[in-house]
Amino acid sequence: MKRQTDLPVKVKVFSFDFDGTLVSTEFIDRVWLKGIPEAYAEKEGLSFEQAYEFVKSEYDKIGQHRIEWYKIDYWLQKFGLAIPYEELFKRYESEIRIYEEVEDVLSVLKERGYELIISSNASTEFIDFQIKPIKKYFSAVFSATSDFGEVKKTNGFFARLCDILGVAPEAVVHTGDHHVFDFLNPRKIGITAYYLDRARARAKAKEVGINVKIGDEFIISDLRELLDDLRFHSLE
């Protein structure tokens, strides 16, 4: 069904999260949960299970609220692994999967005259390696961890992006699969945000605080739903 809602400022920029939004998480899961434990097991003469338990426990000691969690070179050095991250990535390149509708949606938005950017918590190393097939669509890639030293996409992160791009928050549409970092935080500063729920878990979304009205209009299960909004048919 077509939707149309008046916006005070004309939309100019479409921003997308990366992992879970444009690409699946299989690649990063393989690197962190198979590649590094396997390399550590080989180095220390351990079984994979022993190495996995040790590596996982070290990950948990750091936790997602510290910047080191996201830095591949930090972990390779910590575990004494001589393998370059590029070589590790190459081992699992076949696991990279761009969601099927992504390129068509990006192509349409680009043709309509919008600027496209990536706004992600992922480090630039992971983004750059996976983005190659669709890189041509994006004018800029912003990593909260690599570019700004922040572990999460706060509303301040989105405000900085708007300053860098020279646009008002109301001129930006952001889409991602995290309820807080991709939906609530950008909305705090006036960005139009869509919460991408690829599993169609509408009931779960409501449990974490999205009311029915917002859930109906701003939860999507496929990026093609962005194209249903009549506001985004062109810049003209």
> What pLDDT digit, counting tens, does each position of 87-123 carry?
999 999 999 999 999 999 999 999 999 999 999 999 9
Where does the pLDDT of residue 235 fall: very low under 50, low under 70, confident under 90, or very high at 90 and above?
Answer: low
Domain, as residue range, for 208: 13-24+97-232
> Same structural domain for residues 19 and 78?
no
pLDDT (mean) for 143-152: 94
Last residue of a domain, one of 65, 95, 125: 95
Where does the pLDDT of residue 213 fall: very low under 50, low under 70, confident under 90, or very high at 90 and above?
Answer: very low
Q: Which helix (H) or strand (E) holds 119?
A: strand 115-120
Residue 8 within any structural domain of the chain: no
pLDDT (mean) for 165-185: 96
Residue 137 within any structural domain of the chain: yes
**pLDDT at position 54 over 70:** yes
Residue 66 tokens read as 């510290």
Q: Distance between alpha carbon 200 and the CA centroid of its chain, in Å?
A: 18
> Same structural domain for residues 114 and 140?
yes
**pLDDT at position 236 over 70:** no
User: How many domains is the chain partitioned into structurally?
Assistant: 2
Q: What does the pLDDT read at residue 7?
A: 47
> Same structural domain for residues 137 and 195?
yes
